[in-house]
């Protein structure tokens, strides 16, 4: 699909591929699957200038505002080759975009240089033990006291916690108003009352934790956007980044397809390579077709957003739903083609098999995406 992209976007893609081969791949091999964020990998991403994609032009981006096509291109290539780098890259964006989108000039002036330079690593605190898909059910509170907001509550499934430096936190400022009583705040690690939390163990190792707020004092100026407008901020944030989840799925599925083709050519049974068997060719054909369709849906949504459309809820939900479900099928088939070797620990397809599972859950489960799509079709 490179012919659809601008010259600078094709150059960006090649830059990321080269970065993976020359600098990130050795670090990825060194880090492996880890529950701890690699500062070395974060530093390489920072030095490469990729974090500048998340800020406005005045802070170093080559475009006026973040380009979704560019972010999707980077995330696809990183997910295909360097999963630790892909996670750090996207969380820098997901955690900071509310500031870029809705933050005051003062907040942007303070934090955008830190986002762009990678001097600080950002993440987002939204999910709670009793509030996943139902954002309105969050229980963390923020109470106004003189010149401060005081936060209390428990978060969970916060990627890059406790290693990240700065957290965009969503809390109830008017508990009786449901989604209309949520606000967003920027909280820095090290502030009194903020515990970045214990690490969590996932089926595919991942830096992720459960931050706790206990009388955490936050300056009033660190309110992101308008009071009680946090739900809208979170939805616009997810609206942008949901397509990039599809891009990550595409990258992982491409890696699986590459592995499957290579293995099928080199694996011999009954006197010939298994690639010569029609059953294997049919699998590869279906995998490649679904992968191409996924990539088209992802970049269709991203292209529409880059044309200045404020909301791409339908397009991003379709892209996220189809690409993640298709990637699950593609990776499953890739493992099947590998036979017994596919389930051996240390095999690339075995790791992909575990890693892809989370993408059908986070930033809106597949079931939620279907609800969103169905509701929007009925309202049209």
379 class by beta-carbon count within 10 Å (0-12 exposed, 13-18 middle, 19+ buried): exposed
The active-site residue out of 77, 290, 333, 363 is 363
Known catalytic residue: 188? Answer: no
Give the 3-state secondary structure of the chain.
CHHHCCHHHHHHHHHHHHHHHHHHHHHHHHHCCCCCCCHHHHHHHHHHCHHHHHCCHHHCCCCCCCCHHHHHHHHHHHHHHCHHHHHHHHHHHHHHHHHHHHCCHHHHHHHHHHHHHCCCCEEEECCECCECCCHHHCCCEEEEECCEEEEEEECCCEECCCCCCEEEEEEECCHHHHHHHEEEEEEECCCCCEEEEEECCCCCCCCEEEEEEEEEEEEHHHEECCCCEHHHHHHHHHHHHHHHHHHHHHHHHHHHHHHHHHHHHHCEECCEEHHHCHHHHHHHHHHHHHHHHHHHHHHHHHHHHHCCCCCCHHHHHHHHHHHHHHHHHHHHHHHHHHHHHHHCCCCHHHHHHHHHHHHHCCCCCHHHHHHHHHHHHHHC
- DSSP-derived pairing of the beta strands 122-125 and 166-172: parallel
| CA–CA separation, 212 and 187 (whole Å) | 12
Query: How far apart, in Å, are the Cα atoms of 163 and each of 54, 231, 336?
Result: 20, 25, 36
What would you measure as the largest C-alpha separation in the chain, in angstroms?
80
Q: Which residues are catalytic?
A: 363
């Amino acid at each position: 699909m490179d012919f659809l992209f601008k010259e600078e976007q094709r150059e960006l893609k090649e830059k990321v591929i080269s970065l993976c081969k020359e600098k990130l791949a050795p670090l990825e091999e060194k880090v492996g699957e880890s529950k701890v964020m690699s500062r070395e990998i974060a530093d390489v991403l920072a030095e490469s200038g990729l974090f500048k994609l998340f800020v406005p032009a005045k802070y170093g981006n080559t475009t006026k505002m973040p380009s979704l096509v560019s972010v999707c291109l980077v995330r696809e290539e990183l997910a295909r080759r360097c999963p630790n780098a892909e996670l750090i890259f996207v969380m820098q964006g997901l955690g900071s975009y509310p500031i870029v989108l809705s933050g005051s000039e003062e907040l942007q002036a303070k934090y955008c240089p830190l986002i762009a330079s990678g001097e600080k690593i950002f993440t987002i605190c939204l999910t709670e033990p009793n509030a996943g898909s139902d954002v309105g059910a969050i229980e963390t509170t923020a109470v106004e006291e003189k010149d401060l907001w005081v936060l209390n509550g428990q978060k969970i499934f916060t990627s890059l916690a406790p290693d990240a430096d700065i957290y965009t936190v969503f809390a109830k400022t008017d508990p009786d108003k449901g989604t209309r009583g949520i606000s967003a705040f920027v909280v820095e690690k090290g502030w009194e009352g903020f515990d970045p939390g214990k690490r969590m163990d996932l089926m595919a190792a991942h830096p992720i934790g459960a931050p706790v707020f206990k009388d955490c004092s936050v300056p009033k100026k660190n309110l992101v956007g308008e009071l009680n407008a946090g739900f809208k901020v979170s939805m616009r944030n997810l609206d942008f980044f949901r397509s990039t989840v599809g891009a990550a799925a595409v990258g992982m599925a491409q890696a699986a397809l590459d592995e499957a083709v290579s293995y099928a050519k080199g694996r011999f049974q009954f006197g010939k390579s298994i690639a010569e068997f029609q059953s294997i060719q049919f699998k590869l054909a279906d995998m490649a077709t679904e992968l191409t369709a996924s990539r088209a849906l992802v970049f269709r949504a991203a292209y529409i957003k880059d044309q200045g459309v404020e909301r791409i809820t339908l397009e991003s939900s379709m892209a996220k739903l189809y690409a993640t479900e298709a990637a699950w099928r593609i990776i499953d088939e890739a493992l099947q083609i590998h036979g017994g070797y596919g389930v051996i620990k240390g095999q690339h397809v075995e790791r992909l098999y575990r890693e892809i599972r989370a993408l059908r859950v986070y930033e809106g489960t597949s079931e939620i995406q279907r609800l969103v799509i169905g509701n929007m079709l009925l309202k049209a």
